[in-house]
Amino acid sequence: MTSHRSGILFSALYAIYTAILWQGKTPDKAVIKAALQNYLKNLEAWLVRWEIKLNVDKTDETLFSKKNDDYKSDEYKVKVNGTSIECKKAVKYLGVILDKQRNFQAHTNQIKEKYYKAFRVQYSLICRNSILDLNNKALIYLAHLRPILTYASPIWACTAKSNLRSIQVLENKTLRMIVNARWYHRNIDIRNALNVPSFQQVIQQLARNFYGKLPDVNNPEIDKIPVYGHNDQQNR
């Protein structure tokens, strides 16, 4: 971690993924660019020494700020191996799309796209006319389809209720097809019959488990995460 007058520069690593982060209250474009470029220069030298090749095509840059900064400006752009990195409105890290507004709408849209693709692959097994029994159909949903909906949900579950509802609709339609439900069958009755908790219940339980274990994780970066209280009267 490197401290500057207007902020701090640090990195976070997970497996083969690396995030280089700048944090400050009043970001100075020139300082940020110089600090990032200097860090990348040292990183490039280290990679060459260890004969590691960086995939520039999968290297992205973004800015999270309350200000409406111009992403097309060259003031933030840095270079990796001589290639300019475009500053984007949204980037993907560990499968989660992080957008400038931090509302995770782009990520929930990605979830639905992935779900539709997986759903089409399994359609013949879980459709209304499938000869599989209900338990096996439900198992296919729980083991193969629902993990697509809940992946990394403790991170993005703070998204707008409308985004969560759109995902819940996907689950409702799938379960109704599995049991060949009629129009008068209620979704809650279908879930109870299949013993499948709602999407909302699942992500709430995943979040409780995830954040409940965080204090026991020995990671200095996690220790820096502010403690959130339900009674905090701060704007989102």
Question: How many Å apart are CA 108 and CA 117, to the nearest integer?
Answer: 15
Is the per-residue pLDDT at 232 higher than 60?
Answer: no
Coil, strand, or helix at residue 130? coil
What is the amino acid identity at position 16?
Answer: I
Give the pLDDT score at 229.
59
- CA-to-CA distance for 4 and 9, rounded, in angstroms? 8
Distance of CA 213 to the CA centre of its chain: 19
Q: Is the pLDDT of residue 199 over 90?
A: yes
Which pLDDT score is estimated for 236? 46
180: left (phi over 0), alpha (psi -120 to 50) or beta: left
DSSP code for 141:
I
Domain ranges of the chain: 8-88, 103-216
Band of the pLDDT at 220, cuts 50, 70, 90? confident
Closest to 120 in 3D by CA, of 57, 41, 174:
174
What is the pTM (predicted TM-score) of this model? 0.84
pLDDT at residue 72 above 60? no
pLDDT in tens, 168-198: 999 999 999 999 999 999 999 999 999 999 9
- Measured CA to CA, the distance from residue 150 to residue 84 in angstroms comes to 35
User: Distance between CA 67 and CA 78 in Å, rounded?
Assistant: 20
